[in-house]
Amino acid sequence: MKSVQVFAPATVANVVCGYDILGFAVDAPGDEVTMRLTSTPGIRISKITGDDGRLPLDPAKNTVSASVQHYLNALGQPSLGIDIELHKKMPIGSGLGSSSASTVAGLFAINTLLDNPLTTMDLVPFAMKGEELACGHGHADNVAPALLGGFVLIRSYEPLDIIKLPFPEDMCVAIVYPEVDVPTRDARQIIRSKVQLKDAVTQWGNVAGLVSGLFMKDYALIGRSMVDVLVEPARSILIPDFYQLRELALAQGGIGFGISGSGPSVFALTKDPETAKRITNTLQQHLQKIGIRSLSFVSSVNQQGPVVIG
């Protein structure tokens, strides 16, 4: 039977000031899904690797199969026979859009197998359904960049309005994942539901600055706009030595630094891979000194979203 293997990228949501509206994709890490049409009706997850047994094999509970099921229902083929293998190639619960990468790989795979009845943009709402299952909130700031690649703005959720933003082609990303546990649900709960208008004004000034910087390919403007006065102060307490890490990253030449999604991963934007590598080395050394294990990734910004790799 027909089968396809798809890679989908990890993503950095929020990009410091753009809580819930901005995100971008990286070339590495990411997840892989192998999907096969079968003659047995219904979706089956035959294998998950790289998750240490943490992800459910039950198709109703797994975000990949659940979002593929939504897709099939919408296309009027609810009982299509499908076998899914999910290969996690990135840490779960790291703030790098792990569930989004898997979900997006799955949706891109089924859409490819059915000869692309929907556009990639059309897949976003189905991926958001997967996010709702994974973290209790159907946000799009991971799934949209994972699907579309590059920097993505979610201008509005109702109606959904997604805009691809340009960015400097040579931009690189340094990511460090300190291996501490910060579930997205908890990370959202520590954020206050009311904020000072004056802080909100500061925030949307920075959002406007960051978007302008991306269009103008102005690294200095991008960097000085990467300031979050509303969400980071609360979330940073969950990340060991966050402000020292920030200082180190900027001292090593990072354009801007912040929490990736709800953390605990942190990231820095840089102009080249060497600077990114220097930053991950420095941050990992610091974390090691204070007894925290970590993983790191150096990547360019992903341009194209998911790709068929086999």
Residues with a known catalytic role: 131, 184
Minimum separation from the CB atom of position 149 to its own copies (A): 17
What do you get for the CA distance between the two ends of the chain, in Å? 14
Of positions 115, 197, 289, 310, contacts its own copies by CB under 8 A: 197
Between 53 and 197, CB nearer to its own copies = 197
The verdict on 217 binding its own copies (CB under 8 A) reads: no
Buried/exposed 11-47: b ≥16 CB within 10 Å, e otherwise: bbbbbbbbbebbbbbbbbbbbbbbbbebeeeebebee
CB-nearer residue toward its own copies: 39 or 193: 193
Order across the sheet with 294-300: list the strands.
Answer: 256-259, 266-270, 172-178, 294-300
Report if residue 161 touches its own copies, rule: CB under 8 A.
Answer: yes
Instruction: Determine if residue 45 is labeled as part of a ligand binding site.
Output: no
Check: CB of residue 268 under 8 Å from CB of residue 256: yes
Quick check: 201 binds its own copies (CB under 8 A)? yes
Question: Which one among 47, 155, 185, 293 touches its own copies, defined by CB under 8 A?
Answer: 155
39 interacts with its own copies by CB under 8 A = no
Provide, rounded to whole angstroms, the least separation between the CB of residue 233 and its own copies: 13
If one asks whether residue 237 binds its own copies (CB under 8 A), the answer comes out as: no
Q: How far apart are CA 34 and CA 152, in angstroms?
A: 26
- CA–CA gap between residue 266 and residue 178 (Å, rounded): 8
CB contact at 8 A, 203 and 230: yes
Which residues are at the interface with its own copies (CB under 8 A)? 17-22, 153-157, 161, 163, 165, 191-198, 200-209, 211-212, 215, 221, 224-225, 230
